Amino acid sequence: MTTMRLPELYERVSKIIPHPDWMLFEDDIAAILELKREKNAVILAHNYQTPEIFHGVADIVGDSLALARKAVDVEADVIVLAGVHFMAETAKLLNPEKTVLIPDPGAGCSLADSITPEDIALLRAAHPGVPVVTYVNTSAAVKAVSDICCTSGNAKQVVESLGVDRVLMLPDEYLAQNVARETDVELIAWKGHCEVHELFTPQDVRSMREAYPGVIVLAHPECPPEVVAEADFSGSTAVMSDFVGKQKPARVLLLTECSMSDNVAANHPDVEFVRPCNLCPHMKKISLANIREALETGRHEVTIDPAIAQDARRAVERMLTV
């Protein structure tokens, strides 16, 4: 029988990763841990990364806001972003002197793809003087023509920080509609959707409540407003994770990406996590194998046109001061 090389690490994930699967992951995990030391590299992993990445090799984990905040303090020479492309761009914006790698440059996002700088120019022309708040799930080029960025964790505070009556809040229509219910500021939305969260329906929630009596339902604000209305609580992935840690519900359903439930479940073995969930095909393009390859070869480096970077950084940094 093969001996386990990383038993202490496995202990943390033994509830969610079957032993045979872990044995397949160990070689890559051990190599990545060694490469990180050799190259003075850190791995930033989004909450939607699979447990072997999230718990096995990541140094910093969190939602988009946490990753953006923590990226500012990174002291390593190399940052590997285990997440999608706009997150790697944000890490690069905040660390222009460092090498930022994304293991698969094709890891995109339906929200980021839904809007261009030209769209924003047209919106500004149609709504003169109205400030533009863009979700961090956008390209650096879109951030560069925005006034300020936001995440699902700070959207309401960002909108209200501007001290105006109307705001263009782009590109997530559902996030804008969900935030609009919590603020007096009028929000003009765009038609972008997250292809993962838009799949949840109010009927999903009702069916799960019938099948799992007493289940507490938490919905991500990228879900349609009618789904959020059926939930017990709505918040960003960081807020959902805190909710589970503090409230310790006996049974919980997280209406978000599948790996999020897995990663939170690893930390709370006493809580029953009810599925369903939906997979993000973009997040799932990142694997142990391509993280290892990125560290071994230095591929794929994220670069941003300096003129775009300067303006995009301003929008992200303005958000971080809110």
Question: Which residues are near ligand SF4 by CB under 6 A?
Answer: 84, 109-111, 137, 194-196, 257, 280, 282-283
The answer to whether the annotation marks 221 as part of a ligand binding site is: yes
The minimum distance between CB 279 and ligand SF4, in angstroms, equals 9
The answer to whether the annotation marks 14 as part of a ligand binding site is: no
Distance CA 214, CA 21 (A): 32
Are 250 and 270 in contact by the 8 Å Cβ rule? The answer is no
Strands (E), the chain: 41-46, 60-62, 78-82, 99-101, 132-135, 148-150, 166-170, 186-189, 216-219, 233-234, 251-255, 272-274
The minimum distance between CB 109 and ligand SF4, in angstroms, equals 3
Token pair, residue 247, equals 């409230």
The answer to whether the annotation marks 10 as part of a ligand binding site is: no
The minimum distance between CB 125 and ligand SF4, in angstroms, equals 27
**Closest CB to ligand SF4 among 146 and 237?**
237
**Closest CB to ligand SF4 among 137 and 139?**
137
Q: Where does residue 65 rank: exposed (0-12), middle (13-18), buried (19+ CB within 10 A)?
A: buried
DSSP per residue, 233-244: EE--HHHHHHHH
**Closest CB to ligand SF4 among 14 and 116?**
116
Q: Is the peptide bond before 300 cis (omega within 30 degrees of 0)?
A: yes
**Closest CB to ligand SF4 among 137 and 234?**
137
Amino acid identity at 126: A
The answer to whether the annotation marks 137 as part of a ligand binding site is: yes
The minimum distance between CB 26 and ligand SF4, in angstroms, equals 28
**Closest CB to ligand SF4 among 100 and 194?**
194
Token pair, residue 230, equals 């059926």
The answer to whether the annotation marks 300 as part of a ligand binding site is: no
The answer to whether the annotation marks 135 as part of a ligand binding site is: yes
Please report, in range form, the residues annotated as the binding site for iminosuccinate.
46, 64, 135-137, 152, 220-222, 237
